[in-house]
Amino acid sequence: MPLPACLRGCARLLYCIPVTIIIMVVMWSYYAYVVHFCWILLTCATQRVVFLCLFHMCFGMFSWSFWKTLSTPPSSPSVEFQLSSSDSLLYEQEHGGKEKSQILLEISQKLPVHTRTAARAIRFCHHCQLIKPDRCHHCSVCQMCVLKMDHHCPWLNNCIGFSNYKFFMLFLLYSLLYCLLIVTTVTPTFIQLWLGKLFDSCVKLHVLFLTLVSGMFAVTLCFLLFFHIWLLTSNKTTLEWLSVPFFADGPASEAFDVGVQANFLQVFGKKKSLWPLPVSSSQGDGHSFPLRWQMSSHSHSVMNGNGHYAMEGSVG
Ligand SMILES: [Zn+2]
Ligand SMILES: [Zn+2]
């Protein structure tokens, strides 16, 4: 049952709390590193310049990828996956589950849909009234179907999916680099603080917390980044890792794995110069993906006029 408007407004405000905390921690880390560490504690001018340059490079890339992950709206399926008003009427009039499934099966014939429910039926979203493309899932927080949905990230208050997965990977990478840079440059001063050689208690507190918080985030981000590198190279989403996708012949956990290189290129694109930048370069349109068993030695995937993947040559 849909929530009343005032409760929806309250829920939206609550969802903003984690991302606000993250932004405040980042702003404080910038202040603590630049003012207290570089400006007050460092006495060597060369070291100060080198550290500030490296820090701002990391901070710039981190902020850019963070903003892109946060602000890129999740992409929803195109209109061809939506039921037409006549199909919708026909679907609603039928009462039997079998008949409804048959209607969806007939409509799906012209769509590039391979995944099924556990009961081998066409995947249909009752909220959005559409046939779900492969790897698409309905997000109850965003209240929409999201293409190649990975997960809904409460810390970013956004869905991670086809439209921003590359940005999310870069966000993990640059935030880890940001934390590691802080830890490695501040640790010698941190040790001096422990030995009691440095003065001001306010500076002490900022530097101590900066090292501890950065170290804590670095460990967490390291695990998260390596987990997502493993998902990327095996072409799985977090949801597919949690629940194996079903096809007409049954479940297939490796269905979208077409080789490490091809899996990487699907997300990062072929243009190497764009790999480190949080700009769109992913292949395809997020509605269809090459399947492992279709990639025989005589076939290769090509994109048709609609941006969907289609197979050329023999299909096994
Ligand atoms: Zn939906
Ligand atoms: Zn979502």
Neighbours of ion ligand 1 (CB under 5 A): 125, 127-128, 138, 145
Residues 32 and 68 in one domain: yes
Phi and psi angles of residue 7, each rounded to the nearest 5 degrees, phi first: -70, -35
Place 309 in a pLDDT band, splitting at 50, 70 and 90.
Answer: low
Q: Do 53 and 117 lie in a common domain?
A: no
pLDDT value at residue 314:
34
Specify if 104 maps to a domain: yes
Domain count, the chain: 2
Which pLDDT does position 90 carry in this prediction? 85
Residue type, 98: K
Whether 95 and 234 share a structural domain: no
Query: Same structural domain for residues 108 and 236?
Result: no
Higher per-residue pLDDT: 293 or 274: 274
Average pLDDT, the chain: 89
As given in the structure block, the two tokens for residue 79 are 């209109």
Known catalytic residue: 153? yes
Which residue out of 153, 159, 179, 222 is catalytically annotated? 153
Burial of 223 (0-12, 13-18, 19+ CB in 10 A): exposed
Rounded distance from Cα 294 to ligand 2 centre (Å): 31
Helix axis angle for 165-194 and 201-233, nearest 10°, is: 150
Within-domain flag for 233 = yes
Residue 46 belongs to a domain:
yes
- C-alpha of residue 136 to centroid of ligand 1, in Å: 9
Give a yes or no: residue 211 inside a domain: yes
Among residues 294, 251, 316, the alpha carbon closest in space to that of 116 is found at 251
- Banded model confidence at residue 87, pLDDT cuts 50, 70, 90: confident
Domain interval for residue 66: 16-73+164-283
Q: How does DSSP classify residue 122?
A: B
Query: Does residue 300 form part of some domain?
Result: no
Q: pLDDT tens across 180-197, in order?
A: 999 999 998 888 877 776
Same domain as 269, residue 128: no
* Structural domain includes residue 94: yes
Instruction: Average the pLDDT over 28-42 and give the result.
Output: 94
Over 60: is that where the pLDDT of 28 sits? yes
57 alpha carbon – ligand 1 mean position (Å): 40
> What is the pLDDT, as a whole number, of residue 10?
83
Taking a 5 Å cut-off on Cβ, the residues next to ion ligand 2 are 139, 141-142, 152, 159
Q: How far apart are CA 21 and CA 41, in angstroms?
A: 27
Distance 146 CA to ligand 1 centre (A): 7
Does this model's pTM top 0.85? My answer is yes
Mean pLDDT of 150-162: 96
Asked if residue 193 and residue 85 are part of one domain, the reply reads no
Find the mean pLDDT for residues 107-134. Answer: 94
Across 279-287, average pLDDT: 96
Q: In whole angstroms, how far apart are CA 290 and each of 20, 134, 147, 258, 295? A: 38, 10, 15, 7, 7
Going from the Cα of 73 to the center of ligand 2, the distance in angstroms, rounded, reads 9
* Across 220-246, average pLDDT: 97
CB under 8 Å to 39, separation ≥6 — which residues?
A: 48
Q: Is 248 inside a domain boundary?
A: yes
H helices of the chain, in order, are 5-31, 45-71, 85-93, 97-108, 165-194, 201-233, 238-242, 260-268
Residue 312 clears pLDDT 50, i.e. is over it: no
Q: Is 112 in the same domain as 260?
A: no
Assess whether 101 and 44 both reside in one domain. no
* Residue 82: pLDDT band with limits 50, 70, 90: very high
pLDDT at 304 over 70: no
Task: Give the whole-angstrom CA distance, residue 38 versus residue 52.
Answer: 7
